[in-house]
Amino acid sequence: MNNDLLAQYGLKFNPFLPSLPAEALWTLPGAQTFFFGVENLVMDGGFGLIAGDPGLGKSKTLHRLAGHLDEIGDVVVGVMERPQSSLSDFYRELGDLFAVDLTPANRYGGFKALRARWRTHIKSSLFRPVLLIDEAQEVASTCLNELRLLGSAHFDSEILLTTILCGDNRLTKRFRTPQLLPLGSRIRTRLVLEPLSVVDLLAYLDHLLEKAGASHLMTDDLRRVLAEHSAGNLRVLTSMGAELLAVAAARQLRQLDEHLFLEHYAATSSGGRRRSK
């Protein structure tokens, strides 16, 4: 079905699905400055932060950052996949990411082995290894504090790891609590995302359609309608785009326009009112 949809509109990929190819990722306003800050962080170590409400592009920015770091030679990047782990499993995953054989029963041995591995990498490359954690609001405070202690040595004068935390605003609130205040005060570069303007949303939509090879897919009027009805949220924009594309494909429409938007959402709204009676 999806391949038929792509062929119907001459799309290289569906621009409204989360599984975008790396080359189609859009750089959010302010993200390039953040990437530059992370490049400096990789040289010196420490914590960086991407934060914002759901749907503003945090995970895709982290994905974009991972690709940016891959372009820098000799930078080792580990991506944590289970942020909600207990401390023992947290150590296990760190061992897997940085190729260190850890015994969870001997946490002190794992602590020393990880630091030794990182020091060896720094000595050979002059870069700190990088740990990327998406959905970091799910990480237990004990694990976050363990990272803070694990990644610094010699009275906090030697930083062994660069850690980029990416999470919603619950994470930033936790950094103001006494338990995590020491970590929050160590964040050296940050990108705090806000709802996007209509101009930015239009630029994002144009970027997606161009990369998908179908700039003709939507009329200019529909693009503006979508941007104006997305509340500054990229996820809302792409969800509406995906929904309209599926409806247009079912109707065999050659192009998506503002009349389709009005008809579809008027019908959806009236249907919802009938069901609620």
- Which residues does 133 contact at the CB level (< 8 Å), separation at least 6? 80, 83, 139, 163, 164, 165, 166
| 10-residue stretch averages of pLDDT, the chain, 277 residues long | 79 94 93 95 96 97 95 92 94 94 83 95 94 98 96 93 97 96 96 98 97 95 97 97 95 94 82 44
Query: Considering 192, 227, 244, which residue would you say is the last residue of a domain?
Result: 192
* Residue 276 domain flag: no
Instruction: Say yes or no: 15 and 135 in one domain.
Output: no
How many helices (DSSP H) and strands (DSSP E) are in the chain?
Answer: 12, 7
* Residue 150 domain flag: yes
Token pair recorded at residue 65: 């950052």
Instruction: Say yes or no: 253 and 125 in one domain.
Output: no
Instruction: Say yes or no: 48 and 89 in one domain.
Output: yes
Instruction: Say yes or no: 14 and 100 in one domain.
Output: no
Backbone angles phi, psi at 16, to 5 degrees: -110, 10
The CATH number for 205's domain is: 1.10.8
Cα separation, 41 vs 11, in Å, equals 38
- Which residues does 118 contact at the CB level (< 8 Å), separation at least 6? 98, 128, 129, 151, 160, 161
* Residue 25 domain flag: no
Q: What are 2-7's contacts with CB under 8 Å, separation 24+?
A: 4/249, 5/245, 5/246, 5/249
Instruction: Name the residue among 72, 64, 48, 86 with its Cα closest to residue 187.
Output: 48
Instruction: Say yes or no: 185 and 203 in one domain.
Output: no
Instruction: Say yes or no: 125 and 45 in one domain.
Output: yes
Confidence at residue 271, expressed as pLDDT on a 0 to 100 scale: 56
Instruction: Say yes or no: 123 and 243 in one domain.
Output: no
196 secondary structure, DSSP code: P
The CATH number for 66's domain is: 3.40.50.300
* Residue 228 domain flag: yes
Instruction: Say yes or no: 99 and 187 in one domain.
Output: yes
Confidence at residue 105, expressed as pLDDT on a 0 to 100 scale: 77
What is the C-alpha radius of gyration for the chain, rounded to an integer number of angstroms?
22
Confidence at residue 274, expressed as pLDDT on a 0 to 100 scale: 41
Position 226, amino acid: L
| Contact (Cβ atoms closer than 8 angstroms) between residue 174 and residue 200 | no
Query: Considering 158, 192, 226, which residue would you say is the last residue of a domain?
Result: 192
Q: Provide the number of structural domains found in the chain.
A: 2
Cα separation, 80 vs 77, in Å, equals 10
- In this prediction the pTM is 0.91
| Contact (Cβ atoms closer than 8 angstroms) between residue 89 and residue 97 | no
Which residues constitute the domain of residue 185?
31-192
* Residue 122 domain flag: yes
* Residue 7 domain flag: yes
Query: Considering 160, 192, 224, which residue would you say is the last residue of a domain?
Result: 192
Secondary structure element (H or E) that encloses residue 130, with its range: strand 130-133
Instruction: Say yes or no: 78 and 179 in one domain.
Output: yes
Instruction: Say yes or no: 150 and 219 in one domain.
Output: no
Instruction: Say yes or no: 105 and 148 in one domain.
Output: yes
Cα separation, 153 vs 118, in Å, equals 12
Position 7, amino acid: A
Which residue carries 């979508």 as its tokens?
226
Instruction: Say yes or no: 60 and 131 in one domain.
Output: yes
* Residue 226 domain flag: yes
